[in-house]
Structure formats: structure tokens, C-alpha cells
Chain A
Amino acid sequence: MFEVFTVLADQVTYSLFDLQPKSDMANALHFFIEDTSKIFFLLTLVIFVMGLFRSFLSPEKIRAYLEGKPKGITYFLAVALGAVTPFCSCSSVPLFIGFVEGGIPVGATMAFLIASPMINEVAIVILGSVIGWELTAIYVGTGLLVGMFGGWATDFFKMERYVEDYVWKIRTGQIVGPTYDNSLSGRITFAWGEVKEIVGRIWKYVFIGIGIGAALHGYVPADFFAKYASADNLFAVPLAVLSGIPLYSNATGVIPVAEALLGKGVPTGTVIVLMMSVVAISIPEFIILRKVIRIQGLAYFATFLAIAFICVGYLFNALA
């Protein structure tokens, strides 16, 4: 189904640029062309199709749904709903306040905020198409588990004491759900608007990711990773997680990097936790959340996630 992108990359690399097959340059360019065409095609397609069917889930509906549910099951519901709710990190703060004001535990709210950027339909389709469905299932399952763990830990360690005081005092008016034009033309306009908005926001992460992936694929010998990033090296997993903290990318942008690393024989667990750390623990997201959570709270939160990712990485490397 995706051969067309390979053929395109073959044509450009070997015919248009007339590069020697198997040379470093050819390998890198081939990777770049194939991934750029495939990922941007899928990105546009998936966002457009999801845009047509939007409006079945909004943060407002989830708030109404989670209100008054027993704490234990809110973690599960929050991550599951977070994964299928279209959500932009620019709405983190209104969402946080809206959830907390609606009496939803801070833990469930954090679980939602962890899962939502890591797992979404766009990331799932592209991940599945680029690195295979088995690894995608592992990524999704792990992401959901870490989200639930993060939510539970938030409540268990009473992290709500780090929520800024003003948040508790806000009384919202009647929550107003999104108002959509549900005619076909309204849906198409909306879906196309989503494509422009989301691709316009994330294209740079995707290009950087593909560029890094292409450079790794073409120029870094597999021996390098065999030497430094094999499962025998106990430092590889923590190092992958820690290096992901200052780095930030959208979930789609990190996929080509993962693809290149897996191609070089870096163990699955190490690659998956690097992806998760890059996407879930990020400075821009923390700066946004700083408006509602004090710095100590954010530090604990980043530490929980880092520990969880490190455990996951070791576990998968041991099982593989």
C-alpha cells in the first residue's frame, strides 16, 4: 500500500540525482524523500478524515462524563478518552481549570494531559505505517499505562497541594460546548481548517525529525549503536529518557527518528521510551502548565514520568 512512496524515493534518488545505490548520501536522501512524502500524505489524510467526523468528543463532554465517577476508574477513563480527543496543548490550562472546577480529581486530569499528546489517531496511523503495527500496539499500551500510573501517583502523593490557589477559587459559568456547523460543507471547511492549522503548527518538528532520521540512517554506522546503545548497556535507557526531557517534538516528528534507530538495531524498549520522553516531558508544555501548577509540583511530575519511562524501557529490553 505504501510502495508508491518507496518508488518515488527510488526515482528521485537513483534517477533524478543519479546517486550510487548503497552510498551514504543515497541512503540518507532515500530515507528523507520516502518519509517526507509518506508522512505528510498520511498526516493530511488522517487529520482531514478525523476532522470530518469531529465533534463526537470534546473536552466539555469528557468533563461532564467524568464528573462524579469513582476515583479509581477515572484514571482509566481519562487516559482512554485523552487518547481519542483532539486536543491542542494551548488548551491545557482551560482544560485543567475546567476539569478541576468540575470536581474531577487532579490525578485524572493529569492522566488526561499525559495521554493526550502521546497517543492520538494521527500518531497511531503514522507509527503503524512507518514502524509496524506490533510496535505501535506496544507504544499505545505503554502510553496508556504510564498515563494511568501518572494519574494515580498524582493523587497518591497528594500533588493537588501544588495546584495554584486561585484555581480552586474559580467558579466557571455554565460550560458551553463547541458549536459546530454540521452540514457537509461545514464539516469539509472545518476538516480542511484543521489540516492547515495542525500541519502549520507541527511541520517543522516533522522536518527536523525526518532530517535527523535521514542523517542517522545514512551516515551513522550500526556499529556505533551496537557499541553504545545495546540492551547490555544499562545506561542507554536512562540516557534516552533524560535526553528526551529538554528535547521537544510533536509525536509525529519523533517517529522518523525512532524508525532510523530501530533500523540500526537499537533495542525496542530504548527507542519507545526515548519517543515518549520527547513527546510527554517537554519544557514548552511545562511552561504552559506552570500557570496552574507550582514549580515543585511540575518537578515531581517530570520525575514520576522519567522513572516510569526508565522502568518501561528496562522491562521491554529484558522481554525482547
Chain B
Amino acid sequence: MKILKVLGSGCKKCEQTADLIKNVANELDIDVQIEKVTDTIEIMQYGVMSTPGVVVDGTVLHAGGVPTIDQIKVMLA
């Protein structure tokens, strides 16, 4: 199972990002666990200034907006 973290203070784009990842994972039949990180300090410690960001297995793979479906497929691969 992959653990993904969505970094963002709770804005609309962060919700969209989490939902989109869930949908893509369901479609590809990949088991994922999504955690939302809303604490600013924790987000900063990942080095992300523009949210939403996505962390997969401890590494930031995306920052600065809602990822596209193709980008999510790469993250889940």
C-alpha cells in the first residue's frame, strides 16, 4: 500500500487534489492511504511554499497546484 500525503492548509485545491488522487487510484485499482497535512510548519519542513503539494513515501513529488491525472499516474507508478 502506498502512503500519500497531501500538503495544504485546507483550501479548495487541496480537497480537489486528495479527491482526484483517490479517484485515479480507484481506477487503477491501487491501494492508497491519503493523509492530509494542514499544519504550516510541517508543510514548510517538506520545503513546499506553494500548496497543494503531494508527498509519496516521504518524498515531495508535486507542488504548486492540483496535479493532472497523468502526473498522478506517475506518482502512483
Q: Using a CB–CB distance below 8 Å, which chain A residues touch chain B?
A: 58-60, 63, 88, 90-91, 93-95, 97-98, 101, 166, 170-181, 186, 189-190, 193, 197, 200, 291
Residues B71 and A173 in contact, CB atoms below 8 Å apart: no
Which residues from A are CB-within-8-Å of B44? 94, 97-98, 101, 170, 172
Show 14 A/B contacts (Cβ-Cβ < 8 Å), sorted by A. Answer: A94-B9, A94-B40, A94-B51, A97-B44, A170-B41, A172-B44, A173-B45, A175-B47, A176-B48, A176-B63, A190-B65, A193-B65, A200-B12, A291-B40
Which 8 A-B pairs have CB atoms at the shortest separation, nearest pair first? A178-B64, A173-B47, A98-B49, A176-B60, A175-B47, A94-B49, A172-B44, A176-B47
CB distance from B4 to the nearest CB of A (A): 15
* Residues of B23-56 whose CB lies within 8 A of A: 40-41, 43-51, 53
Q: Are A189 and B68 in contact (CB under 8 A)?
A: yes
Q: Give the chain A neighbours of B70 by CB distance below 8 A.
A: 181, 186
The answer to whether A90 touches B11, judged by C-beta atoms less than 8 angstroms apart, is: yes
- Residue of chain A at shortest CB distance from B47: A173
Shortest B51–chain A CB gap in Å is: 7
Per-residue interface assignment for chain B, residues 61 to 73, with 1 indicating a CB less than 8 Å from any chain A CB and 0 otherwise? 1111111101100
Q: Is the CB of A179 within 8 A of B62?
A: yes
**Partner pick for A179 among B12, B41, B61, CB 8 A cutoff:** B61
* Distance of A166 Cα from B64 Cα, bound (Å): 24
B13 within 8 A of partner (CB) = yes
Docked Cα-Cα span, A79 to B29, in Å, equals 48
- The complex places the Cα of A179 from the Cα of B66 at a distance, in Å, of 10
Residues on B with C-beta less than 8 A from A98 are 44, 49
* Set of chain B residues within 8 Å of A177, measured between Cβ atoms: 63-64
CB-nearest residue of chain B relative to A166? B41
How many cross-chain pairs have Cβ atoms below 8 Å apart between A and B? 82
Closest A-chain residue to B59, C-beta based? A176
Q: List residues of chain A with CB within 8 A of the CB of B47.
A: 172-176
In the bound complex, CA of A222 to CA of B27 (Å) = 63
Do B49 and A63 touch across chains, with their CB atoms under 8 A apart?
A: yes
Q: Which residues of A contact B50 (CB under 8 A)?
A: 58-60, 91, 94, 178
12 further interface pairs, Cβ-Cβ under 8 Å (given A59-B49, A90-B9, A173-B46): A60-B49, A94-B44, A94-B50, A94-B51, A97-B44, A176-B46, A177-B64, A178-B63, A179-B61, A193-B65, A193-B66, A291-B40
Assembled-state Cα–Cα distance A189/B40 (Å): 28
Are B43 and A94 touching (Cβ within 8 A)? yes
CB-CB under 8 A from A190, the residues of chain B are 65, 68
Q: Kindly list chain A residues whose C-beta atoms are within 8 Å of the C-beta of B43.
A: 94
Q: Which of B9, B12, B41 contacts A197 (CB 8 A)?
A: B12
Please tell me which one of the listed residues A58, A90, A170, A197 contacts residue B45 in the complex, with CB atoms under 8 A apart.
A170
Given contacts A178-B63, A181-B71, contact A93 B9 (CB under 8 A): yes
- Bound CA–CA A175/B64 (angstroms): 12
Name the one of B40, B45, B68 contacting A171, with C-beta atoms under 8 angstroms.
B45
Q: What residues of chain A lie closer than 8 Å to B9, measured between beta carbons?
A: 90, 93-94
Known contacts A93-B9, A97-B44; is-contact A180 B49 (Cβ 8 Å): no
